[in-house]
Structure 1
Amino acid sequence: MQGTSMEGPIPSTISLLRNLTELRISDLSGSSSSFPDLQDLNLLKILILRNCLISDEIPSYIGDLTSLKTLDLSFNKITGQIPQTMQSITKNLDFVFFTNNSLTGEVPDWIMNTQNKFDLSYNNFTRSSQLSCSSLSVNLVSSYSSSEGQSWCLKKDLPCSGKPQHHSLFINCGGTKLEHDGNEYEEDLTDGGAAHFVSSAEKWAYSSTGVYMGKSDAPYRATFANETKPQFYQSARLSPLSLKYYGLCLREGSYKVQLHFAEIMYSDNQTFTSLGRRIFDVSIQ
C-alpha cells in the first residue's frame, strides 16, 4: 500500500496477519495517529511505514522482530528516543531509515559503531560525542537540535563554520569535472548509497537516502554514453527516496538557480521514441 493516498490510521487488526514477511505502507492522508500494533508479526523482513502521519514513540517490541532486514519509518512525526531493544536485532538489519522525524536524546553508541546503513538525518537529537563531518558512518546531517559544540553538518540549516565566501556553484551531478560556457562544474563521482552524506571542502554537499525495492545493490549513479551536448547531460545521481544537494557558505544575496535534466535511463526494449512525460517534484530552499 505504497503511494496510494489512502486514509489512515493503520488498523490494529493488521497484527492478525501473522504470516506477513513484508509490509509496505506510505503516504497516508488524514490526521496523526499512534504507532500500529505489529508485535505479533514476527516473520516480518521488510517494514516500511513511510509518511504515515505517525505521531508516537517507536515501541520497544521492535527489538523482538528478529527477522527484520529493512526498517523504514521516515517522514513521520515520531518522537522519543531510539529504543535500546533495537540493539539486539542490528546483526540482521541491513537498512534503517528514521529520517525526517522528531527523535530526541542521544544517538546510541551501538548505532555509531554498526556496519548497517542507518539514516537519522533531520531529527532533534540533543547529545553526542564529537563527530567529524568527513567521516560519518551514519547519515546524521541536520539531526541535532542543539548547535553547541557540534560540527557544522549536524546543525540545523548547515550553517557556515567561517565567513561565507562563495558566490556561485556548478555541479556535474554523478559526473566528471568539466567546463561549459566559461563555468567550471565540480565533479561528483562518489558512489553514494542508502544512507550517505558527502561534503566537498565545505562548498557543497549532498545527502542520499533510500534503498531500491527488490534490488538493494542497484547503483546510485547513472551514465549514458552519447553525443548529447553539453556533457553534464550524460550523467546523473540517483536516489530511491530522497536526494538533497546543499550549497554551503554562499554569500548573502539573490541567486539564479538553473537545473538541467535529460532522460538517460532506458530499458533493454525501449528507445527515446517510447518515452512519455516525466513528472516529479523539486523543492528549493
Structure 2
Amino acid sequence: MKSLTYLFLGNNSLSGTLPSQKSKILKSIDVSYNQLSGNLPSWIDSSLQLNVVANNFTLNSSDIRLLPGLQCLQRGFPCNRNAPRYANFAIKCGGLQMTADGIVFEAENNSLGTATFNVTSTQKWAVSSVGLYEDRENPMYVQNTFAQVKSTNTPGLFLTSRTSPVSLRYYGLGLENGLYTVNLFFAETAYPDRITRSWKSLGRCVFDIYIQGGLQVKDFDISKEAGGAERAITRRFVTNVTDNHLEIHLLWAGKGTCCVPELGYYGPSISAISVVPDFKPTVSGLPPGTSKKKTALLVGIVVAVGAVALVLIYLTIHFMRRKEYNDEEVLLAIGPRPNTFSYAELRAATDDFSPSNKLGEGGYGAVYKGTLSDETVVAVKQLSVASQQGKSQFIAEVATISAVQHRNLVKLRGCCIEGKRHLLVYEYLENKSLDQALFGRSDLRLDWPTRYNICLATARGLAYLHEESRPRIVHRDVKASNILLDAELCPKISDFGLAKLYDDEKRHISTRVAGTIGYLAPEYAMRGHLTEKADIFAFGIVALEILSGRPNSDNSLEDDKIYLLEWSWALHENNQILDLVDPNLVEFDENEALRVVRIALLCTQGSPSMRPPVSRVVAMLAGDIEASGVITKPSYLTDWDFRDLTRSLVTKDAQTSTSSENKDNHNQNRISSGPGVAPSLCPVNVSEFSEIIERR
C-alpha cells in the first residue's frame, strides 16, 4: 500500500468515514457512489484528485471552498431540491461556449483527470470523470479534431469532445420535474474511416449509455451507429425527472479497442449535450432573489437620471473597444478556440517585460518568464516579425498548434493578439535549453545516459511532428537552443509551430530561408526546397553536438576542427571517431557512441533521399534495427575541401615581401599588417587563375 498512487473504490457500497491519514504518494482517490458519511479528513487539499460525489458527507464552509459545488452532488442532489430553478441546459463537452441551431452550448473545458468533478457556478449542471489511462504516455481528457465532420449543419459542435477512460457522468441540477428530451451528440474523430484501410481505422470506441440510472444503449459504437468515422450522430432519449435532477452516464465496460491509435486509448467520448423539456416550464431560470420588477425599476431610474451620460459612455466604449469585440467574434468563429490572454495580463505576469525576466531572444522574438495570477509559471514569447496573415488565420494556426501535444514537445498554452501585438504563451521549463547545458553556460553536467536519452527523445518528438500529428509539421529550425529540458532533463522541442504563423514568403520553396547557419540542409539553404528531410539534417548536427559537447562551429579551435561535421568525417575516415566524444564524459558506452555518429552521418547526407525518415532514426537509436545504410562523404564537403587560391597567393606574396623588406623598403608588393594600413594585393595572372578554377 505504501507504493499506491491511484485508488478506485467507487460503487462499492462502502460505509463509515474516510481515514484520518493517507499515504503521501497517493495522488488520486475515487470513492464516489458509496454510503460514506462524517466530516472530510484534513489531508484533503487542492493538489489531490478526489471524487467523493454521491455520498453523505457533512460539509463545512472550508470543505465547500476547497471542493466547490460538492454539496450539490451529495446523495439526493440537494441543491434546489423542491425549489427548481431550471428547465433546460446545453453543454459543449470538452470545449468553449458556442451557439448551434439557436442553442447556446455552455463551455465545459475544465481540466478533468483520473478522479475529478466540476459544478458550474450557477449550479445548473455538473460533470464527473473517473478512470486512469494506465498505458497511455500522454493521457488527454479532451479529443481535438481538425477534420470536417460530415452529416451535420454545425460541424463546429464536433471539433472537440470530452473523453474519459472509464466513467463520465453529466448532471442537470435544480430541474423542474417532468418529461425531457435528452440529445447526445457524438462523432468518432480519433480513428480514420474504414475505407482508408489503415491499421488505425480498426479502432473502435464502445461504451454503454445510462439515463437516470437505466441502461438505454449497450455497446454503443459511435462509428458503427454513424455509418463511418468523422460523421455526426445524435441519439435522442425521453426521460422523466422526478427529483429535480438528471443523470447521464457513459460507462466503458471493457469493450472496443484499447491500443489504437495509441496505447491506452479507450473509454466513452461525447461532443455535446442538450436537454429540453417536453412541457411548458413554469420556472424562469433566474437565480433566486432576482426580482424582475426591481430590475425594471432600477433600469428605469438609471435611464431617466443618466440618459445623456449613458449615451456618451456607450459611444466611447463602442469606438474604443470595437476592435476587442471584433477580436471576440473572430475567436468565437474559430474551432477549437485556443486559450487567450490579455496583453495587460501578460504584461503583469512578466513585470512589464522586465529585462530581469528575459530568458533569451531568437529570430522570432524575445522570451520572458512570467507568473500568471493563478501562480502558474509560463514563458511568454513576443513575436517580433509581423505576420501577413489575417487575424482569424493567425488564431486558427495557434489553435492548430495548441492541439499538437507530445511529451517531447513544449506545450503551447495560448496566445494574445491585440492590434499588432502577437504573443505566445508556453509552459516554462526549469533547466532551459540544451545548448546551455552542453556548452557550459549552465550548472548542468550531462552524463552519457542522459545525453543518449535526449538524442532519442528528441527524435521521437520530431517523429510525432513529421508522421503522427495532424497537420504534419516541418520544424525548419531544429537546433540545440530550441530543445528545452524539464526538471527531469527530459527534452522538449520548442518553436515547432512558429513557421506556420508567418507569411507565405517563408514557406516551402521561398527566397527567404528561415533557420540557423550550421543546421541548414544544403537543398534548403541553396534552393529553398523544404521537406521534413531538412529537419533530419539539422537533427544529425544536433546529435553530433550532444556527443561532442561542442557547437557545430567554433573559430577558436584549430583549422581542421572549426566545423564539427568536417572534423567528424575526418575522424571517421581515419578510424578515430571516438576522439569526437566530449572529453568531459568520464564514462560512456562505446557502442552507443558509434551508433550516434553513424546515424548523424546518415542524417547529414547531401541528397535528401539518402537521409532516413525520422521514424527509422528512432528505431536505430532505440536499438530495434541496425544503424545501416550507405554512407558516403557528402559532396558539399568534398567540394569545399580546397585551399582558397586567392588567399594562398596573397599569403605567399606577404611572406616574400616580408623577407625582402630589409633589402628594399619600397617594395610595392609588400603587405603591411600594421594597424590602420590597407594591404596591397600582389599581381595575379588572371587567365592562369581562371584556368585553375575551370579545371576544378
Please indicate the TM-score interval, normalised by the length of the shorter structure: 0.5 to 0.7
State the SS of the aligned residue for 2:54: coil
Shift in Å, 1:179: 1.9
Shift in Å, 1:163: 4.2
State the SS of the aligned residue for 2:165: coil
8 Å Cα contact 2:96/2:108 also seen in 1: yes
State the SS of the aligned residue for 2:157: helix
Distance 1:178 1:233 in 2: 11
8 Å Cα contact 1:174/1:188 also seen in 2: yes
8 Å Cα contact 2:55/2:74 also seen in 1: no
Instruction: Indicate the larger mover: 210-219 or 164-173.
Output: 210-219
8 Å Cα contact 2:16/2:36 also seen in 1: yes
Distance 1:265 1:278 in 2: 9
CA-to-aligned-CA distance 1:123-147 (integer Å, 9 cap, x gap): 233x33225657418xx84xxxxxx
1:105 and 2:38 are equivalent in the alignment: yes
Distance 1:185 1:115 in 2: 30
Q: Which residue of 2 aligns with 1:18?
A: none
Q: Which residue of 2 aligns with 1:118?
A: 50
1:263 and 2:188 are equivalent in the alignment: yes
Residues 105 and 152 from structure 1, CA distance in 2 versus in 1: closer, same or farther, beyond 3 angstroms? same
Shift in Å, 1:214: 2.5
CA-to-aligned-CA distance 1:118-172 (integer Å, 9 cap, x gap): 22222233x33225657418xx84xxxxxxxxx4344522432794232222211
Q: Which residue of 2 aligns with 1:54?
A: none
Residues 74 and 226 from structure 1, CA distance in 2 versus in 1: closer, same or farther, beyond 3 angstroms? same
Between structure 1 and structure 2, the one with the greater Rg is 2
8 Å Cα contact 2:79/2:174 also seen in 1: yes
Residues 195 and 261 from structure 1, CA distance in 2 versus in 1: closer, same or farther, beyond 3 angstroms? same
Shift in Å, 1:115: 2.2
Q: Which residue of 1 aligns with 2:320?
A: none
Q: Give the aligned residue type for 1:113.
A: D
Distance 2:80 2:63 in 1: 15
1:204 and 2:125 are equivalent in the alignment: yes
Distance 1:134 1:284 in 2: 30
Q: Which residue of 1 aligns with 2:4?
A: 68
Instruction: Indicate the larger mover: 252-261 or 159-168.
Output: 159-168
Residues 217 and 132 from structure 1, CA distance in 2 versus in 1: closer, same or farther, beyond 3 angstroms? farther
Residues 283 and 131 from structure 1, CA distance in 2 versus in 1: closer, same or farther, beyond 3 angstroms? farther
Q: Which residue of 2 aligns with 1:94?
A: 27
8 Å Cα contact 1:178/1:187 also seen in 2: yes
8 Å Cα contact 1:166/1:203 also seen in 2: yes
Q: Which residue of 1 aligns with 2:61?
A: 130
Distance 2:86 2:34 in 1: 31
1:249 and 2:182 are equivalent in the alignment: no
Shift in Å, 1:235: 1.4
8 Å Cα contact 1:166/1:251 also seen in 2: yes
State the SS of the aligned residue for 2:209: coil
Q: Which residue of 2 aligns with 1:159?
A: 79
Q: Give the aligned residue type for 1:258.
A: N
Correspondent of 1:172 among 83, 92, 99: 92
State the SS of the aligned residue for 1:256: strand
8 Å Cα contact 1:134/1:199 also seen in 2: no
**Alignment size in residue pairs:** 202
Q: Give the aligned residue type for 1:109.
A: S
State the SS of the aligned residue for 1:105: strand
Q: Give the aligned residue type for 2:38.
A: G
Q: Give the aligned residue type for 1:78.
A: L
Distance 2:174 2:141 in 1: 26
8 Å Cα contact 1:222/1:235 also seen in 2: yes
Distance 1:202 1:156 in 2: 15
**Long gaps (5+) in structure 1:** 1-64, 142-150
Residues 134 and 253 from structure 1, CA distance in 2 versus in 1: closer, same or farther, beyond 3 angstroms? farther
8 Å Cα contact 1:74/1:99 also seen in 2: yes
Shift in Å, 1:106: 2.2
Matches within 5 A, 1:221-236: 221-228=142-149, 229=152, 230=154, 231-236=156-161
State the SS of the aligned residue for 1:215: coil
Distance 2:56 2:81 in 1: 20
Normalising by structure 1, we get a TM-score of: 0.62
Distance 2:204 2:128 in 1: 27
Q: Give the aligned residue type for 1:66.
A: K
Residues 257 and 275 from structure 1, CA distance in 2 versus in 1: closer, same or farther, beyond 3 angstroms? farther
1:81 and 2:17 are equivalent in the alignment: yes
8 Å Cα contact 1:172/1:186 also seen in 2: yes
Q: Which residue of 2 aligns with 1:189?
A: 109
Q: Give the aligned residue type for 1:238.
A: T
Q: CA RMSD in A?
A: 2.7
8 Å Cα contact 2:5/2:26 also seen in 1: yes
Which fold has the larger relative contact order, with Cα–Cα distance below 8 Å and residues 6 or more apart in sequence? 1
CA-to-aligned-CA distance 1:13-54 (integer Å, 9 cap, x gap): xxxxxxxxxxxxxxxxxxxxxxxxxxxxxxxxxxxxxxxxxx
Distance 2:131 2:63 in 1: 23
**Long gaps (5+) in structure 2:** 196-200, 213-696
8 Å Cα contact 2:46/2:66 also seen in 1: no
8 Å Cα contact 2:54/2:75 also seen in 1: no
8 Å Cα contact 2:36/2:55 also seen in 1: yes
CA-to-aligned-CA distance 1:50-108 (integer Å, 9 cap, x gap): xxxxxxxxxxxxxxx22222222222122222233x43x1x111222222222233221
Distance 1:219 1:278 in 2: 15
8 Å Cα contact 1:207/1:245 also seen in 2: yes
8 Å Cα contact 1:173/1:232 also seen in 2: no
Structure 1 outlier segments of 4+, above 6 Å: none
Q: Give the aligned residue type for 1:136.
A: L
Distance 1:192 1:226 in 2: 24
Shift in Å, 1:245: 0.8
Q: Give the aligned residue type for 2:169.
A: K
Distance 1:281 1:202 in 2: 27
Distance 2:53 2:47 in 1: 17
1:284 and 2:231 are equivalent in the alignment: no
State the SS of the aligned residue for 2:179: coil
Residues 113 and 171 from structure 1, CA distance in 2 versus in 1: closer, same or farther, beyond 3 angstroms? closer
Matches within 5 A, 1:141-156: 141=70, 151-154=71-74, 156=76
Shift in Å, 1:206: 0.9
Q: Which residue of 1 aligns with 2:430?
A: none
Distance 2:54 2:126 in 1: 15
Shift in Å, 1:243: 1.3
Residues 254 and 232 from structure 1, CA distance in 2 versus in 1: closer, same or farther, beyond 3 angstroms? same
Q: Which has the higher helix share?
A: 2
Shift in Å, 1:278: 4.5
Distance 1:160 1:216 in 2: 42
Q: Which residue of 2 aligns with 1:148?
A: none
State the SS of the aligned residue for 1:152: helix
